Structure 1
Amino acid sequence: MELLVLLNALVTRLLFVLHSLLGVWRVTEVKKEPRYWLLALLNLLLCLETALTLKFKQGRGYKWFSPAIFLYLISIVPSLWLLELHSENQLCDEQFVKNTSKHEKHNYRNETSDNDLIKKAFGLVITLHTACESVWTLGLHQTFLLLLIIGRWLLPIGGEITRDQLSQLLLMFVGTAADILEFTSETLEIGDVREKHALVYAILGVWTWSMLQFPLDLAVQHLDCGPSVSSRRVFSLLLCRHSADLWNIGISVFIQDGPFLVVRLILMGYFRVINHMLVFFTAKNILIVMLQLYRLIVLSLDFHASLQYRSNYRKGGVGCCPCEPNHISLPPNASVADESKCATIALDNSSPVTVENL
């Protein structure tokens, strides 16, 4: 086992555990009940996953799915739920501003005498400890999303995913994290929403559902389109050729932008909560869903055209199949355009081909 792989695997999971424990500590501070420390036991699942990964995978990741990130979600999400559902979470902004200003004035007066780094660090800890609940909750949300991206970057990759695919995945995660943070902060900060507990539960439920896309690597990986994929199974052939695009469309429509759009439409239509930011992001979700559906239609039309072209060649006694045999047959009187079309279909399948009987 490489030392760097081992170090990255352990450090990343250690960061996950520490951040989860920070969330549990904050819940106990807010609720004033030590029994909430039992939430820390959820980290035992991550410790077990670490031991199994080091033993059977030598610290490297898995194909399609990241168990470490999934277990990190399990350990931190309950704490964030409890903090968001706390009744005083949204009522302490003014108090925090006053405490922060008072502490800054005190530091300014003693700037010439307090040069000890330990005292300054202690003052910073006191400031963080006295920060209001909404600031703590927002900070945990932000660090949570940042740690998901950084952790996925640091986690050792398996042999099934390339560094190019990982870079694409990280770029997608950055945009996804920004949309998710905006969704929770923009909806839960509305005063009328906080007064309706069922609506808060619905928003947090959609937020939790959207987080499930982070352990998945499906949006950047392509399925193997080998000879075992039969051309008669149209859906299998479509998934074989456009797996990454289809997963990306499905994640956007059913996990992120689609659910976000439904919640915002309910807020605007049923609860009559309307502001310019809510209208803007609703329009953005509508546009993204429409573009994703348009992308799906384009892929379907191209795939259907490919199948139709192959069917026409077969009716004429010509075999030109991009996913079955790695072999293309053209009649002696085939034109240059026919040869180019058939070669293009074969190249789209990324499989070696031979042209005979030219």
Structure 2
Amino acid sequence: MELLVLLNALGTRLLFVLHSLLGVWRVTEVKKEPKYWLLALLNLLLGLEAVLTLKFKQGRGYKWFSPAIFLYLISIVPSLWLLEIHPEKQGCCNESNQLLQNINEINEQSANYEITDNHLIEKALELVNTLSAVSYQVWTLGLHQTFLLLLIIGRWLLPIGGEITRDQLSQLLLMFVGTAADILEFTSETLDIENVRKKHAVVYAILAVWTWSMLQFPLDLAVQHVECSPSVSSKQVFRLLLCRHSADLWNIGISLFIQDGPFLVVRLILIGYFDVITQMLVFFTAKNILIVLLQLYRLVVLSLDFHASLRYQSSSRKGGVGCCPCEPNNLSLPPSSCDMDERDCASIALEDPVTSEHL
């Protein structure tokens, strides 16, 4: 096993575990109950996956799916749920006063703490105390941001398997950057609305849609093409369409059913049913409508091109297999379908006496 592959495989999973433990620590600090440390046991699944991957795949990835990313989602998403639905999240207006009070307490403790020998230790303690005093809302938003960044960086650092090329990986990472930005806008823009925060059922629905949208990150289907087997005939229309345009179809499906489609439904419900209207909510709703329409338009274009290619293949078979302009049985074919020029026809005529008689 290559040393670089081993370091990337272990280092990336270590970053996942550390970030997950940071989220669990924040939950225990907020809830003031040590039992929430049990959430850290979810990281054992990631450790087991690392052992199996190193043993059977030599540290490299799998085809179409990343178990490490999926298990990282399982380990960190419960902590983010608990932080978002905590009652303290509802009282964001008092956070500034609480932050000032915490800073004053830290200053008093630092003044009473006498360290004369090591100035670095004193600075480190002050940094830790300052981080502990950061407001609840800032911590939660920071965990969301670092969570999405780690998904992208982790997918980049994880060793790729033989089924996905570096070009496909670069396309996937660029897609993840745009996707992560939209997801962060969805959670920060909708959950920070005061009228939404007061409705617990709406908060749960938004978090459920957010969790559902995260399932696209372990998938590599949007950049990998399915090879058509020789047994697939033109009569099997759906299978032929899937293997010819698999990446495009998966990309459209992920947008319509995992991200932009569910986001649009939630925002329309907030506007139409709960009468929650803000400038940013209307803007992102219009953006989701535009993306959904463009994806449907893309689907129609692919379908029309596919059926046009099937009709052309059918007409080509009926017109015969001849290709040269000198052959009479190719009159039904368009000129662009002929790949041979007059010199090729001449060579065929010299080799085939029957053809030469026609010439």
Give the TM-score of the pair, scaled to structure 1.
0.87
Give 3-state SS (helix, strand or coil) of 2:230's partner: coil
C-alpha separation between the residues in 2 aligned to 1:121 and 1:20?
A: 23
- Three-state SS of the structure 2 residue aligned to 1:212 is helix
**What residue number does 2:242 align with?**
239
3-state SS in 2 of match to 1:68:
helix
- CA spacing shift, 1:316–1:187, aligned 2, 3 Å: same
Residue in 2 that maps onto 1:170: 173
Larger radius of gyration: 2
Q: CA deviation at 1:291?
A: 0.2
Mark the CA change 1:340 to 1:100 in structure 2 (over 3 Å): closer, same or farther.
farther
Query: What is the distance in 1 between the residues matched to 2:209 and 2:295?
Result: 20
User: Could you say which residue in structure 1 is the equivalent of 2:83?
Assistant: 83
Structure 1 CA distance for aligned equivalents of residues 70 and 290 of structure 2: 30
Letter in 2 for 1:64: W
Confirm or deny that 1:340 pairs with 2:342. Answer: no
Q: 1:289 is matched with which residue? A: 292
Q: Which amino acid in 2 is paired with 1:340?
A: S
Whether 2:208 is the aligned partner of 1:205: answer yes
Identify if the C-alpha distance between structure 1 residues 314 and 201 changes in structure 2 by more than 3 Å, giving closer, same or farther.
same
CA distance in 1, matches of 2:163, 2:156: 15
Give the corresponding residue for 2:46: 46
| C-alpha distance in 2 between matches for 1:127 and 1:137 | 16
Secondary structure of the residue aligned to 1:88 is helix
Q: 1:273 & 1:339 partners in 2: Cα distance? A: 60
Partners of 2:57 and 2:338 in 1: how far apart? 42
Out of 118, 125, 129, the residue aligned to residue 126 of structure 1 is 129
- Deviation, 1:229, is 2.2
Say which structure is richer in helix.
2
Query: Counterpart amino acid of 2:88?
Result: E
Superposition deviation, residue 170 in structure 1:
0.4
Tell whether the 8 Å contact from 1:90 to 1:133 is kept in structure 2 after alignment: no
Question: Percent of pairs identical after alignment?
Answer: 77
Letter in 1 for 2:83: L
Q: How does 1:77-116 map to 2 (within 5 A)?
A: 77-92=77-92, 93-95=95-97, 98=100, 116=119
SS in 1 for 2:88: coil
5+ long unaligned stretches in structure 2: 340-347, 350-354
Cα deviation for residue 231 of structure 1 reads 1.8
1:128 shift after superposition: 1.0
Say if 1:253 and 1:289, in contact at 8 Å, map to a contact too.
yes
Q: Tell me which residue corresponds to 1:19.
A: 19
CA distance in 1: counterparts of 2:229 and 2:289, whole angstroms: 37
1:15 to partner: Cα distance: 0.5
Aligned to 2:10: 10
1:318, 1:330 within 8 Å by CA — same for their partners in 2? no
Query: Are residues 238 and 188 of structure 1, via their aligned partners in 2, closer, same or farther at CA, if it must alter by over 3 Å?
Result: same
User: Is the aligned partner of 1:139 residue 2:142?
Assistant: yes
Contact residue 114 and residue 120 of structure 1 kept, 8 A:
no
- Contact kept? 2:46, 2:68, Cα under 8 Å: yes
Measured after TM superposition, the shift of residue 244 of structure 1 is: 0.3
C-alpha deviation, 1:225, in angstroms: 2.1
Aligned length: 333
Return the letter of the residue paired with 2:336: S
Provide the rounded CA distance (Å) in 2 between the counterparts of 1:88 and 1:115. Answer: 37
The one-letter amino acid of 2:18's match is L
Residues 1:331 and 1:153: Cα distance change in structure 2 (over 3 Å) = farther
The question of whether the paired residues in 1 share the 8 Å contact of 2:103 and 2:133 is answered with no
Unpaired stretches in structure 1, ≥5 consecutive residues: 320-327, 344-355
Aligned partners of 1:96, 1:342: CA distance in 2, in Å?
Answer: 78
Instruction: Answer yes or no: is the 8 Å Cα contact 2:241–2:306 preserved in 1.
Output: yes
